[in-house]
Amino acid sequence: MAKKSVASLTEADVSGKKVLVRADFNVPLGDSGNITDDTRIKAALPTIQDLVGKGAKVILCSHMGRPKGEVKEKLRLTPVAKRLGELLGTEVIKCNDCVGDEVTSTINGMSNCQVALLENLRFHSEETSNDPEFAKQLASNADLYVNDAFGTAHRAHASTEGVTKYLSPSVAGYLIEKELDYLQDAVDNPKRPLAAIIGGSKVSSKIGVIETLLDKCDKLLIGGGMIFTFYKARGLSVGKSLVEEDKLELAKSLEAKAKEQGVDFLLPTDVVVADNFAPDANAKTVSVEEIPDGWMGLDIGPDSIKVFQDALADCNAVIWNGPMGVFEFDKFAAGTEAIAHTLAGKSDAVTIIGGGDSVAAVEKVGVADKMSHISTGGGASLELLEGKTLPGIVALDDA
């Protein structure tokens, strides 16, 4: 999936041109409407700064939240424009819509090197339904297109896929380029030994990625709530722990496939159990063979942490997707935090954090800057690791 990148565009290609950039500014907001985490805004800066430096008129577009085709005042992108202006050190023109005469007039009045931000794309239901007429309207104010929103690249929306039919060239921004370099390379040309750590609550949400990684990796470490489905499939008692009863046969077959392919398939040997699902629940550590009735597993235990650390010691590449336990509760965060610290200590290895809760975990522990790559996509990261094609990427010009 080698795609043409914004890096290949020269000053002659973009100077004075109107460039539509799909960014991912779906940032979390506090109660007062303030941005609580600007990571995604900062991640878009290299592409924006590159285009501004080459004399383009930069038209940014993004969604925020799920307004479902209605204007929701709380989901306007005004705070994003303000923060982006602070980071760029220049005013960002904020439009009150993403299509229409007012937007066209604002864009036509832009000077070279100016930056404008359109209003939340999802105030129009035509964005998510990939309506051709809406895509055409969105594209009509621009000369070329850059997609730098990896988090929505697995969706065929008007702003990710539809606009490419009307704008040429259509290229990848630096963020998407980096995601493809790391995530695709990790599974297509891996450094060995390659380990994958897969966590999270349900086997069902990670089936595809586990199956794909069994073909690619040397070691597969499983944590999180999904371990109890594997234990039950082995005939163990799991108390009140989360189990997907309809996935027991699948769990057996995944273990069998790992054995067949010579992949080290590691499940925790001990777990931290609780008498209920609460941050202040009573807790104790037990062997996985001795989970008491009425108790539920909420983290991996200290022996398991040691086993996992030993397994990772010789690995030259590690992909991590999903927490080891309910890390939002401090009492059940030790497993997840230990894995984060372990990967942070592997300075000679390629360490890839594959989106979602694992990203929150490494940020909580304060070791995000020690990882080789932190993916900005949740579902998009998983689908890429599964080997699926992402519509927002496929639609871009080939390199």
| Residue 239 backbone phi and psi in degrees, to 5 | 60, -135
Q: Report the share of the chain in percent with pLDDT over 70.
A: 99
Number of residues written out for the chain: 399
Is 90 exceeded by the pLDDT of residue 39?
Answer: no
Question: Which is more confident, 42 or 355?
Answer: 42
Q: Report the share of the chain in percent with pLDDT over 90.
A: 82
Is 90 exceeded by the pLDDT of residue 148?
Answer: yes
Query: What are the tens digits of pLDDT across the range 56-72?
Result: 999 999 999 999 999 99
Query: What are the tens digits of pLDDT across the range 333-358?
Result: 999 999 999 999 999 999 999 866 88
Across the beta sheet with 350-353, the strand order is: 264-266, 219-222, 194-198, 317-321, 350-353, 373-374
Is 90 exceeded by the pLDDT of residue 108?
Answer: yes
Looking at residue 249, its pLDDT comes to 95
If DSSP states are collapsed to H, E and C, what string results for 49-61?
Answer: HHHHHCCCEEEEE
Catalytic-role residue among 202, 234, 257, 388: 202
For the chain, what is the mean pLDDT? Answer: 94
Catalytic-role residue among 22, 40, 94, 232: 40
Kindly state the average pLDDT of the residues 304-332: 96
Active-site residue, 155 included: no
Query: What are the tens digits of pLDDT across the range 366-394?
Result: 999 999 999 888 788 888 888 888 999 99
Helical ranges in the chain per DSSP H: 11-14, 39-53, 78-88, 101-108, 125-128, 132-139, 174-179, 185-188, 207-216, 227-233, 248-260, 302-312, 334-344, 357-365, 379-385, 391-394
Active-site residue, 200 included: no
Kindly state the average pLDDT of the residues 82-92: 97
Kindly state the average pLDDT of the residues 288-313: 98
Let me know if 230 is exposed, middle or buried by CB neighbors in 10 A (0-12, 13-18, 19+): buried
Give one DSSP letter per residue of 221-242, joined into a string.
EE-STTHHHHHHHTT---TT--
Catalytic-role residue among 100, 378, 379, 387: 379
Query: What are the tens digits of pLDDT across the range 153-174?
Result: 999 999 999 999 999 999 999 9
Nearest CA-CA partner of 367 in 306, 320, 399: 320
Active-site residue, 202 included: yes
Catalytic-role residue among 199, 297, 355, 356: 356
Query: What are the tens digits of pLDDT across the range 169-203?
Result: 999 999 999 998 888 888 788 899 999 999 988 88
Quick one: pLDDT band at residue 2, thresholds 50, 70, 90? confident
Active-site residue, 379 included: yes
